[in-house]
Each structure stands twice: as C-alpha cells, then as structure tokens.
C-alpha cells in the first residue's frame, strides 16, 4: 500500500513538474539531422564527429525582415529549423521588425514562454489571461525594455511610433510554434463553416464570409 501511495505521489507531484519544460539534454549537444528519417520528440542527432561550427551558427537575421504586408511586421524565427545546433536545448529566438504603426497580430506559442526586448522604437505589448477572467495586461515599452508573454497566452505587439521599430525575443523551446488567431480561425484549410463562426462571434454570415476572404 505504501508503495502504491509513493507511486501516486510521484505521478501527481513530480510528473507535472517534469513535463512543464523541455527535458534537460543528456549530452553536450545533439545537432539536428534535419534530413533524418527517425521521428522522435525533437529531431534525431547528427553523428557528433561530423558536427561543424556552422551547425551552431545562423546569419539569417542580420538584415531587416520584409514588413511589406497587411500587418506591417515581420517575425524572423531562429528555431531548430534554421539552427540545427539548438536541437534538445530548449531555446529559440526571433527578430521582429515593424513598420511605423505595424502590428505583430494576436497569436500564441503552444510550447514556449517569450521574453521580448525592444531594440529600437516604442512598442505597445499586451497579453490576455485565460478564461474566465480574460484580463488584458498591457504596457508601453521603450528601447531596452523587457516584457514576458507567459506560455500559451494570446499576445501581440504594436509599434506606436512614426519610425520603424525592432525587437528581439527569446523563446523557451527549440520549436515554440506560432498560432496566429486570425489565420487559425478565419484562414483554416478547409474553412470552419460560416455558421459556426457567425454563432461563435455573434455576427452575421456575411461578416464572416468577408473576413474569411482576407485569409
């Protein structure tokens, strides 16, 4: 009986903690073999003796991202996809560029908390807590300021200046994922039926059809 109770205690108390973050690596590195055929929770490792400095390097965010799009922002991610050396390390990053008044629209990361730092400009940041409170927490950030978007909560940033803005984020997963709310709800393939969305958003079918056309 005591052993059963011990086991229950382990499952209830220890297990959820162990699952709250990506597991600690059991080796110095596990450079992703992005062409590998083995499907694991992550990406299989390259043979360590074949690993090169370039496996730990990514030069792709030196330049400003292209912000010529309807929202006026560009998120350039550096995840295990771009930087194979990140595999199993539980971290990723992003460069975010904004046109004047550009918006990084409401989205969430299914696997990561995000630590956001403003490098240039003035940015309004916000996130919404879960149901039933749905409390909106927002702050205007200046150059050098840091803000955290807790894991899985819907958040956004908007440049509230007449000049370009730039920020950098670190994310607590090698593969944080992004779910952009508008794209997921109005741009799914195939479409979620107009009737469902009209009822959910308490509006008419025409309004929903119009929004769906934009995605």
In this chain, which of 79, 87, 104, 159 binds ligand GLV, going by CB under 6 A? 104
- 3-class DSSP assignment, residue 136: strand
Q: Does 75 bind ligand GLV (CB under 6 A)?
A: yes
Question: Is the dihedral angle over the CA atoms 89, 77, 175, 59 positive or is it negative?
Answer: negative
CA pair distance 191, 195, nearest whole angstrom: 11
In this chain, which of 94, 118, 165, 197 binds ligand GLV, going by CB under 6 A? 94
Question: Is the dihedral angle over the CA atoms 107, 113, 117, 123 positive or is it negative?
Answer: positive
In the list ligand GLV, Mn ion, none, the entry touching 182 (Cβ below 5 to 8 angstroms by class) is none
Q: Does 125 bind ligand GLV (CB under 6 A)?
A: no
Q: Are 121 and 143 in contact (CB under 8 A)?
A: yes
Q: Does 89 bind ligand GLV (CB under 6 A)?
A: no
Minimum CB separation from ligand GLV for residue 200, in Å?
Answer: 25
In the list Mn ion, ligand GLV, none, the entry touching 97 (Cβ below 5 to 8 angstroms by class) is none
Q: Does 79 bind ligand GLV (CB under 6 A)?
A: no
CA pair distance 45, 31, nearest whole angstrom: 5
CA pair distance 97, 65, nearest whole angstrom: 6
Q: Which residues are annotated as a binding site for oxalate?
A: 104, 109, 114
Annotated binding site: 104, 107, 109, 114, 155
> Which residues in this chain contact ligand GLV in the complex, by CB under 6 A?
75, 94, 96, 104, 114, 116, 169, 178
């Amino acid at each position: 009986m005591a052993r059963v109770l011990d086991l229950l205690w382990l499952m209830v108390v220890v297990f959820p903690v162990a699952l709250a973050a990506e597991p600690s690596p059991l080796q110095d590195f596990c450079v992703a073999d992005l062409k590998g055929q083995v499907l694991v929770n992550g990406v299989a490792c390259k043979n360590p003796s074949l690993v090169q400095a370039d496996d730990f390097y990514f030069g792709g965010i030196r330049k400003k991202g292209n912000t010529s799009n309807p929202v006026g922002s560009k998120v350039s991610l550096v995840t295990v996809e771009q930087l194979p050396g990140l595999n199993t390390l539980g971290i990723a990053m992003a460069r975010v560029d904004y046109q004047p008044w550009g918006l990084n629209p409401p989205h969430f990361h299914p696997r990561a908390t995000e630590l956001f730092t403003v490098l240039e400009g003035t940015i309004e940041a916000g996130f919404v807590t879960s149901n039933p409170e749905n409390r909106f927490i927002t702050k205007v950030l200046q150059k050098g300021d840091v803000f955290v978007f807790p894991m899985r909560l819907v958040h956004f940033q908007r440049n509230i200046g007449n000049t370009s803005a730039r920020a950098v984020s670190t994310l607590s997963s090698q593969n944080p994922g992004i779910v952009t709310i508008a794209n997921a709800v109005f741009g799914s393939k195939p479409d979620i039926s107009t009737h469902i969305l009209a009822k959910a958003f308490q509006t008419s079918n025409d309004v929903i059809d119009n929004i769906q056309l934009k995605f």
